[in-house]
Structure 1
């Protein structure tokens, strides 16, 4: 099962990341076997874009910085794709035995067949429930990828959907 959520235009940037991090932390604190990764955005002040780091759930290593500084006035994508791939590689060994997989988002990299895309597919193929955020811009690509395996849930229902998956598995 693959659950996804999106936010509307009025939701502050970074809200999905905060929601997934809080969800993963809450479920792990209850002793539930959660794997995956969450993104944390570090505010650097009003004149600077935030730094992005990936926290691999269950991994003792430090968070991975997945953004790169492009300098003043830069307009390009700040994602460090090599660091994202490293985060995926560090996430994969933690999936076996997990009752739930949390993925930060199905973003541009996943839409292009990179990033967490293969890991999402493998978890679903292995029967593991996956929950993730899908930005509005990537919705069509995500639905092409997921087909009828995906179910959209409201952000307010994330926790109950996840707990229902654990209850169904026991």
Structure 2
């Protein structure tokens, strides 16, 4: 009922989760959530982080420009909360699955998508998400060890999703 991919700074799960969401939607699965898509400006400036909300297609930029000399976290916490709130409102429609882009630092601290994941699990809605390697301990504590670690592979994640959907139908 809870599947997760461990992501690192050098190996994100963004592409895998985006493709899985595309395939599940094409198969008619009632899916809600958010996929993170980062652009590459090709000019040496920092990439932008955008959340693409499922199923509406709304895009919320969750990165902020802190200036050329900044080396701090560029996450816009308010934008992340806005995205999480929009996704959380979709849980009332009784979706078949929730896909959350990441359990990162904000979620480890109780914010971001953490309440959304908690509400979905409490309602019996299967969840699929990425977990940053540095936040795995907080994730394990939050989920009380429930969940299945999945390889960062589209076919393997799709197999897990289809099996989970069969089991919860």
TM-score above 0.5, yes or no? yes
Aligned match of 1:105 = 102
| Residue 167 in structure 1 maps to residue 166 in structure 2 | yes
In the alignment of these two chains, the number of paired residues is 166
Deviations along 1:4-62, one digit per CA (max 9) or x if unpaired, are 111468xx44x4111111110110011111111111101112511110111110225x3
Structure 1 runs (4+) deviating above 2 angstroms are none
Whether contact under 8 Å (1:51, 1:67) holds in the other structure is yes
TM-score (norm 1): 0.91
- What is the rounded CA distance, in whole Å, between the counterparts of 1:138 and 1:48 in structure 2? 27
Q: CA deviation at 1:121?
A: 0.5
Inter-CA distance 82–18: structure 2 relative to 1 (3 Å threshold): same
Aligned match of 1:3 = 3
- What is the rounded CA distance, in whole Å, between the counterparts of 1:169 and 1:144 in structure 2? 24
What are the equivalent positions in structure 2 for 1:1-170 lying under 5 Å apart? 1-7=1-7, 12-13=10-11, 15-45=12-42, 47-59=44-56, 62-95=58-91, 96-156=93-153, 157-170=156-169
Decide which moves more: 142-151 or 129-138. 142-151
TM-score (norm 2): 0.92
CA RMSD across the alignment: 1.6
